[in-house]
Amino acid sequence: MRIIMNDWLTLALVLVAGLMLGAIFFGGLWWTVRNGVSSKRPALLFLCSMLLRAGVVIAGFYVVSDGDWQRLLACLFGFVIARFIVTRVAGPPLEDYAAPTKEPDHAP
């Protein structure tokens, strides 16, 4: 009984770690998109952000899973849940905002 409870606790902690990794990845993506528009070098910002976010997530998955497929699956599940949470918190996509009004073709 104690071993089963320990496994459930471990999987719950791994799920929380997946949530945190997902929040870092998708929160960083949201921040990059918002700031990349006004950046002087957007390509460099997007590239560095992607490499940093992917590196953190891959290293996190490697450490958290510890070679166990069940831990890896629980971490991935937390990661996917974090995607839905971050997209809810971040708000609607840019195209959902009011489109700029078209200026008249003639002078008043």
Nearest to 61 by CA among 31, 30, 25: 25
Which tokens hold the place of 103? Answer: 């200026």
Model pLDDT, residue 5: 57
Model pLDDT, residue 82: 95
**pLDDT tens digit string along 15-43?**
999 999 999 999 999 999 988 888 899 99
DSSP 101: P
**pLDDT tens digit string along 68-91?**
899 999 999 999 999 999 988 887
**Is the distance from CB of 79 to CB of 25 less than 8 angstroms?**
yes
Domain map (residue ranges) of the chain: 2-89
**pLDDT tens digit string along 49-64?**
999 999 999 999 999 9
pTM: 0.77
Q: 96-103, long-range: CB within 8 Å, 24+ apart, which pairs? A: none
Portion of the chain with pLDDT greater than 70, in percent: 81
Whose tokens are 């995607």? That residue is 83
